[in-house]
Every structure is written in C-alpha cells, then in structure tokens.
Chains A and B, each alone.
Chain A
Amino acid sequence: MGKNDEMNDKERFLNALLLKEIDRASAACPLQTATTEMMDETGCFWPDANYDSKKMAMLAEFAHTKAGIESIRVPFDLCVEAEVLGAEINQGRKNSQPSVIKPAIRREKDLDVTFKPDPKNDGRMKTVCDAVSILSEKYSDVPIIAGITGPFTLAGQIRGVEMLLMDFFDNPDFVKTLLNYTTEVLIDFAKALTESGADSIIVIDPSAGCELLGKKHYESMALPYCKKLIDSIKVPTILHICGDTTPILEKMCETNADAISLDHLVDMKTAFDTVGNRICLIGNINPADTLFLGSTEDVKNETKECIKAGARIIAPGCGIPTGTKIENIKAWIETVKEE
C-alpha cells in the first residue's frame, strides 16, 4: 500500500468497478501483463508459462510484486478456449503469444454442440483455473483477474473470421447455433474460474470491434451473446473490445458489464461524457507508442490525462507489449499513486 492509501488493492479495485467510493484511482491491469524482462527474472518463459499453471502464476504475480501493478492477471493469451475446442494453435515464442492457425470447423457438420469441455480438467482451461487457485490462496488483498474470450471472437477463431462473416449471409441459423455454443462453453469456463477464486472476469472480444462489424452487426451478432455470458458471471465483470469503440459505447453498457476497458483509440473524455455516469471506465494508455516506446515522462503525462478524463482504473488500452521496460510500468503505477 502507498503511504496515503486507505484501501488495499482489492478493495479499491472492486469499489472502482462497482462505482463505489475509492481513495484514489486503481492501477490494476485487466489485460496481459507479462514482459520479456519479467520472464528473464522469473525464469518463466513463454510459451512454457502458457502451458504450466505454476509458471503462469509465478510470471503473473511478478507483475504485481516487482513492477507494482495492483492486480494479478492470467492467462497471457487469447487462444485458451479455441485450443480446447480443437483449433490448431501455433504456440508462439518468448515474445509472441500463441495464435490460431487453423480453425476447427471447416464444414458446418464439424460443429458438435454436444462437446462441452470440463474447464477444471481439460487442456489449458485447467491450467488457467489452477493458476487462479494458486494465486487466490496466496493473495487475499490483491485482486485476481481472469481473462476469457468473448463469444463472437471465439466463434471466429474456431470457424475462421471470414467464414463466420460470410455465414451471416449464407447461413444465419448456423451462426446463431455456433454463437449459442461458444456462449455456453464460456459460461462454464467463467464459472470454473470464479469457483477457483477469481475476483473479477474480463471478457475480451476483439473481433466484435467496430472496424470489423459496425454497430448494426454488433447489436445482432455480438451483444446478445456477450450479455448472456456476463449475466451468468457472479463476480464483477469487465468488457474489452479492441479498436475505436466510440460508436458502440452505449451498446457495450447494455451487456451489463460492470466496467469497460477502452483501447487507446477511444478518447477517454468523450467516453466519460457518454457513459461515465453509469459504468466504470478503464484505460487507456497507448500500449505501443507510450508504454513500450515512450519515455517515463511520456508515460506519466498520459497516465495523468487518463485520470483527469475520468477513468477509475488506469491501465494500458490493450495488453502490455512484451518489450515494455519495467521502468515504464513503474512510472504508470507511481503516477496513479501520487495523483
């Protein structure tokens, strides 16, 4: 705790999410936190740390113990669910996250809606649940955040985004079946994560972004499923969509998320004026230009701007780039504590 703090990191974070009183803004990070410097110091490297719950927990907690981030967040990538559902994954390297290389559902009949993974036993869903258990047992006053994929993005990963988008026109019923399926799978995963001790869940739905879908498709193809998922989650929930989401901010609130995490492309002040009175806003330091490539002075200035514009949790606009210096992360955290 900082010297003037009246709350611990967990109280502050949860109060911030629920729009309750806070002693100052929170410097929790609901998106990816690992950097290569942290990997070097812990000896827990990607891709191993994505597949081993102990290493995952160690690398994740280092962002808190060493860099000072006021939360602990797992996993580090966005392919956990797609992998369990049979998509072919490239494991990535020390400085690159795993990525989907081949979707699982080439033909419609490849979709088996009766296959429901058991998150506490299957693949990397289990790895993440176990990491959450380890962390939640160890830390009672630091929020443990677990990330999951959004229903639309997961559908795109297992079907192929282009295929999914063409299905809109060629076979809309199949799209609905697929989205209902990914929603069910994610409901189970989120439940297992909260049972393992996660204090908050962040749903990340990059493919539902405005540049790709626009507002109309977002409303019909992403929002209802995301809402159903979020309604099922028993802990405070955050929604993150990459890109400029200004046109859909109000729609994002309709998912019943407690908070929305904004990409750096969104103007925080505009967002605050639009929805700031009813939802907690998180963000939105530019992850690449400022946090990774900028000076500590740049980081400080942008952090102050985010606080001034009304964000209650000050964090990067997307995951932390792996090349980011711990020094820059500290500049962000220290500035939040001072303000």
Chain B
Amino acid sequence: MDNEELNEFYEKMAQAVVDGNEDECIRLANLGIEEQIDAYDIIIKGCAHGMTIVSDLYEKREMFVPEILLSARAMSGAVDILKPYIKTDDIKETGCVCIGVVLGDIHDIGKNLVKLLLETAGLRVIDLGRDVPTEDFIETVEKEKVDIVALSALMTTSMMEMKETVKELNEKYPNVKTMVGGAPVSKEFADKIGADSYADNASEAIRVVQGLLG
C-alpha cells in the first residue's frame, strides 16, 4: 500500500470505531495484518483516533453513552486481533506501570485506552481494573517491581479517593512515581494532591511515562 492508501485504511478503521461497527473493525484488522500494515499504527492512527472523534462528538452532544460503549466494544474487537502482532521493543520491557480506576468509580474506557497504548510502547502493565481500593495498589507495589502507579478518575467524587491513594503511596513508597488522569483531573489538581505527573490523554501518557522513567 502506498501512503495514500494507508491513510485511507486508517480512516476506514477510525470510521468503523465511530460507527460502533464491530464486524467491520474485525474485518479491517484482519485485512491490515494480511497486508502487513504495522499493527501499532493501525491501533494509534485508526482505532484510538476513532475513539478521540467519539469523545469529541460526545462533548458536542452529538453522540451519547450507548454509542460510546458500542464504539469501545468495536475497538476492542480490532485490538484483540492486532495485539499479538505489535512489535514491542523486544530487547526488554522498559518499565512497569500499575494502572487502575480509583475506588467508587467504574468508568474504565479511558483507562483501558491508556493501558493499551502503554503496552504498545513496550511497558509491562499490571491492570487492577476499576473501583480499586488504595490497599490493592499498595499490595501490588509491595509484591511487584512497579515503577509507576497510574490512577484514573472520571468523577469529582472519586477524585477525593485519588487524593487519598496518592497520599498513601507517597508516604509508604516515595520512590514509586504516581501519574494521574481522567476527564475532570487537571495539572493543577495533580500538583495539589502531590502526584508526580499528569497526562491529558493516552498518547501524552506515553511521553510522560517515558519522561518519568528517564
């Protein structure tokens, strides 16, 4: 495929995500692999790009949660197929991130995107899921060799939990870095609660993590 065809392909994948068309996402993912298109590029330039469009449409009140969930499912359909084909920096994993959505919060679509992109960037990611109490983060840090704990919160109420979790981690494990994110979270909030870093979206999260790992 030449460049123009490639871009057209990514566009199609993004559109299939926006449409929430899982069958089309799966078809395109398989086609991409047949055509030996880079799996990482398909995810970033196709799938994740589609999800960004979805978020924008939501902000403009042109799309609502049922459709967002459908898009997220369609995207997962493609990602499941593409994942094994991602060329990671196969020399070694560059670091370990423990990620989760804080207690009282079940919004995990954004967290899953961040996790996915971190994995594609060659990091080891331990996913604790959603509605995760502070103790579970602590326990994981204790047992595994974790470099960064990444916390997601999508509600103003759960941001308070985020504050607690960061505080505990800072007290018990000052060497482990913390990174926070989620729609209502800001750089100012991150600074105020003593988190080491903040990222506004998933691709920025990769840059931030690479910065933290030095």
Contacts and interface: CB of A to CB of B under 8 A. Distances in A.
Nearest to B157: A288
Contacts of B61: 210, 214, 247
16 contacts: A162-B69, A165-B65, A165-B66, A166-B66, A166-B69, A168-B66, A169-B66, A210-B61, A211-B65, A213-B66, A214-B61, A214-B63, A214-B64, A217-B64, A217-B66, A247-B61
Contacts of A216: 64
Interface in A200-249: 210-214, 216-217, 247
Contacts of B167: none
Interface in A292-307: none
Contact of A169 (B63, B64, B65, B70): B70
Highest count of chain A CB atoms <10 Å: which of B20, B61, B63: B61
B85 to A, nearest CB: 28
B173 to A, nearest CB: 29
B124 interface: no
A3 B61 CA distance: 48
Contacts of A165: 65-66, 69
Interface string B66-81: 1001100100000000
A303 B86 CA distance: 59
Which 8 pairs from chain A and chain B are nearest by CB? A214-B64, A165-B66, A212-B65, A168-B66, A165-B69, A213-B64, A169-B70, A166-B69
A128 to B, nearest CB: 26
A166 B73 contact: yes
A283 B63 CA distance: 28
A211 B64 CA distance: 7
Interface string A132-168: 0000000000000000000000000000001001101
B70 A166 contact: yes
B171 to A, nearest CB: 24
A168 B69 CA distance: 11
A102 B133 CA distance: 17
A214 B61 CA distance: 7
